[in-house]
Amino acid sequence: MAVDPSSLQIVVYPAPVLRQVADPIGAVTDEVREIASRMIELMREADGIGLAAPQVGLRWRMFVAEVPPGEERVAEGDEPSASLGPQVFINPKIVDPVGELEAMEEGCLSLPDIAGEVRRPPVVSIEALGLDGAPVRLRASGLLARCWQHELDHLDGVLIIDRMTQMSRIKNRSAVKRMEKEARV
């Protein structure tokens, strides 16, 4: 693999890597840990709350998230809607979604200038490996649950422009076209 973490940058739509299905990570090595820590740095520099490996050009099933308390909209029951510091999930799966789909506006570091309403289940669990290679299972609601689902989508090549409500699609259509056009120049 041999990726230089300092060379990583956030890639924007329509970079092809954003449309690919990422591969599971075979072993949680020091290289993986270094890249995770660089991804946390890039996410913070960009004022984001999540960043997935394909967004830094890597077809790896890994994402980072950091949802500060206070940014959450509503707490759903007892599930946390914010993270206590940065989280790293390797080979993650979203399981046990509950509740009626809720619409909320989402943005994406790979789609600057685009924001639209996406409907998602309000409470989910995540199963993944942590940075020490051990399995973790966490449950969340609110913005944290939304963030995990958004980042997991990135690992399957899915973007918010695929999931937005019809109204948001129409609203963002020219911005999406502009990005596609700029990439061709």
Segment near Ni ion (CB under 5 A), from 18-26, 85-93, 102-110, 133-141? 102-110
CA distance 98 to 78: 13
Least distance to Ni ion, CB of residue 170, Å: 21
Taking a C-beta distance cutoff of 8 angstroms, is the pair 122, 99 a contact? yes
Does 51 interact with Ni ion (rule: CB under 5 A)? no
Q: Report the run of H or E that residue 137 belongs to, with start and end.
A: strand 135-141
Q: Report the run of H or E that residue 52 belongs to, with start and end.
A: strand 50-52
Segment near Ni ion (CB under 5 A), from 16-24, 101-109, 116-124, 166-174? 101-109
Number of residues that bind Ni ion (CB under 5 A): 1
Taking a C-beta distance cutoff of 8 angstroms, is the pair 165, 128 a contact? no
Quick one: tokens of 27? 């072993």
Q: Which residue in 34, 151, 180, 182 is the catalytic one?
A: 151
Least distance to Ni ion, CB of residue 42, Å: 12
Does 108 interact with Ni ion (rule: CB under 5 A)? yes
Segment near Ni ion (CB under 5 A), from 1-9, 78-86, 105-113, 130-138? 105-113
Instruction: Compute the CA torsion angle 89, 95, 97, 103 (nearest 10 deg).
Output: 40
CA distance 91 to 59: 12
CA distance 119 to 73: 15
Q: Which is nearer to Ni ion, 28 or 159 (CB)?
A: 159
Mark whether 151 is an active-site residue: yes
Q: Which is nearer to Ni ion, 98 or 158 (CB)?
A: 158
Does 42 interact with Ni ion (rule: CB under 5 A)? no
Does 114 interact with Ni ion (rule: CB under 5 A)? no
Does 18 interact with Ni ion (rule: CB under 5 A)? no
Q: Is 159 helix (H, G, I), strand (E, B) or coil?
A: coil
Residues labelled as active-site residues: 151
* Sites of contact with Ni ion (CB under 5 A): 108
